[in-house]
């Protein structure tokens, strides 16, 4: 039985396979409308979410399946002190697959060890968010036609931003990819990602605090929100929250075909004046996330379609 806890649980070939399935879904959604008839997805979200939970739910409905949902720790037995391990065993009796978001790093891994059905990590603390990465990869693939030979700028909260960590793990496996890491000193990429991924696999990268000077070299600019909920004190958050605000003015030196991505929710990192720029891809990313989650559910449930 397969789980998706880290994006590296999938090989490059398997990611290609998921992307191919997503393209088939986009072309002919009707073909997939009943392939999961009678199957149930449980969404266990112990942290706020709009997109990821609704996206998983929409994905399962569009495959013909059903959804069982626990939204918020306050409304589940976690508030009575139930362990993640026990919750996973219990939910395995009701559902065919679990998508779990949890504030504690590693919680979906614990769930996977204890569940008898596949578990998908829908975000664990400041650690990983592999299904957002699937959305990001399909978006880059649809926009650029490739995942190789790209300079990717990651900007904002690279310390706590779990989508950034998973995206780096995924993109580091493609040839010709280099990263420009743009953040305030205090929100730089954690050394475990730097050492265990970038340096280990000899992926070229540079670190800077200056978005504008990095801009001209970028093929993709991945903006992120400063992760307020992971800060130890509000003062630090307030000091850092406006470090980078992308405005039309700042895009002047960007390549005409640079793609702007953001996992959303946006606070104020991207001015709404950019939303109509053809380079803005963040709402396309949302839709792509649904297609990739559909492809992932099919793969983990071993449904041939
Ligand atoms: C991201 C997350 O939850 O990490 N949101 C999402 O799932 N699209 C990004 C964020 O919250 O900033």
Is 289 a pocket residue for ligand 1 (Cβ < 6 Å)?
A: no
Q: pLDDT class for 186, splitting at 50, 70, 90?
A: very high
Instruction: Answer yes or no: is the C-beta of 263 below 6 A from any ligand 1 atom.
Output: yes
**Quick check: is 101 catalytic?**
yes
Ligand 1, atom nearest to 163 Cα? 4
How far from 47 is each of 25, 72, 196, 219, 228, CA to CA, in Å? 29, 6, 27, 32, 13
Separation of alpha carbons 230 and 226, rounded Å: 9
The pLDDT, as a whole number, for residue 131 is 98
Could you tell me if the CB of 123 is within 6 A of ligand 1?
yes
What tens digit of pLDDT does each residue of 248-276 get?
Answer: 999 999 999 999 999 999 999 999 999 99
Min mean pLDDT across 67-76, 232-241, 276-285 is at 67-76
Q: How many of the other CB atoms lie within 10 Å of CB of 275?
A: 12
State whether the beta carbon of 285 lies less than 6 angstroms from ligand 1: no
* 52 given a catalytic annotation: yes
Identify the bridge partners of residue 121 per DSSP, sorted by sequence position. Answer: 100
288 in contact with ligand 1, CB cutoff 6 A: no
pLDDT exceeds 80 at position 283: yes
More confident residue, 74 or 225: 225
Give the active site residue among 53, 102, 127, 129.
Answer: 129
Rounded to two decimals, what is the model's pTM?
0.96
Q: Is the pLDDT of residue 176 over 70?
A: yes
Q: Which atom of ligand 1 is nearest to the CA of 135?
A: 8
Could you report the per-residue pLDDT of 187-243, keeping only the tens digit for each?
A: 999 999 999 999 999 999 999 999 999 999 999 999 999 999 999 899 999 999 999
Catalytic residue among 39, 40, 51, 173: 51
| Active-site residue, selected from the candidate residues 53, 101, 102, 194 | 101
Tokens of 226: 């400063």
Our answer to whether residue 146 is catalytic in this structure is no
pLDDT-based confidence at residue 47 (cuts at 50, 70, 90)? confident
Q: Is the CB of 264 under 6 A from ligand 1?
A: yes
305 burial class (0-12, 13-18, 19+ CB within 10 angstroms)?
A: middle
Q: In what order do the strands lie in the sheet with 178-182?
A: 205-208, 178-182, 151-155, 220-223, 259-261
Residue closest by Cα to atom 7 of ligand 1 = 52
pLDDT tens digits for range 10-40? 999 999 999 999 999 999 999 999 999 999 9
Q: Quick check: 76 pLDDT over 80?
A: no
Match 């990313």 to its residue by tokens: 285
Res. 85: pLDDT tops 90: yes
221 near 215, Cβ under 8 Å? yes
Separation of alpha carbons 122 and 65, rounded Å: 19
Q: What pLDDT, in 10s, does the model give residues 109-160?
A: 999 999 999 999 999 999 999 999 999 999 999 999 999 999 999 999 999 9
**pLDDT of 285 over the 90 cut:** yes
Active site residue 87: no
Mutate to test the pocket of ligand 1, among 264, 269, 282, 283 (most ligand atoms within 8 A of CB): 264
Question: In this predicted structure, what is the pLDDT of residue 73?
Answer: 61
What confidence score (pLDDT) does residue 63 get? 98
Q: Looking at residue 225, what is its pLDDT?
A: 96
Distance CA 126, CA 196 (A): 16
Is the shortest distance between the CB of 118 and ligand 1 below 6 Å? no
145: left (phi over 0), alpha (psi -120 to 50) or beta: left
Tokens at 77, concatenated: 């037995």
The length of the chain is 305
């Amino acid at each position: 039985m397969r789980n998706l806890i880290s994006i590296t649980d999938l090989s490059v070939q398997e990611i290609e396979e998921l992307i191919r399935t997503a393209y088939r879904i986009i072309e002919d959604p009707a073909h997939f409308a009943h392939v999961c008839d009678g199957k149930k997805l449980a969404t266990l979200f112990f942290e706020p979410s709009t997109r990821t939970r609704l996206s998983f739910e929409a994905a399962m409905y569009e495959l013909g399946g059903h959804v069982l949902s626990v939204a918020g720790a306050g409304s589940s037995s976690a508030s009575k002190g139930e362990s993640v391990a026990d919750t996973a065993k219990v939910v395995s009796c009701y559902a065919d697959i679990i998508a779990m978001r949890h504030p504690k790093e590693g919680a979906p891994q614990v769930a996977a060890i204890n569940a008898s059905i596949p578990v998908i990590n829908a975000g664990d603390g400041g650690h990983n968010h592999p299904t957002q990465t699937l959305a990001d990869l399909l978006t880059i693939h649809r926009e650029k036609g490739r995942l190789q030979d790209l300079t990717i700028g990651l900007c904002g909260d690279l310390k706590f931003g779990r989508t950034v960590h998973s995206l780096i793990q995924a993109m580091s496996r493609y040839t010709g990819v280099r990263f420009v890491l743009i953040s305030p000193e205090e929100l730089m990429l954690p050394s475990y990602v730097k050492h265990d991924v970038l340096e280990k696999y000899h992926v070229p990268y540079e670190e800077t605090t200056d978005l504008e000077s990095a801009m001209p070299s970028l093929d993709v600019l991945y903006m992120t929100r400063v992760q307020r909920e992971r800060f130890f004190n509000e003062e630090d958050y307030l000091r850092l929250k406006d470090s980078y605000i992308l405005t039309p003015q700042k895009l002047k030196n960007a390549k005409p075909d640079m793609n702007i991505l953001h996992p959303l929710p946006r606070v104020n990192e991207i001015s709404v004046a950019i939303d109509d720029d053809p380079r803005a891809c963040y709402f396309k990313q949302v839709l792509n996330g649904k297609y990739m989650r559909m492809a992932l559910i099919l793969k983990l449930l071993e449904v041939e379609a």
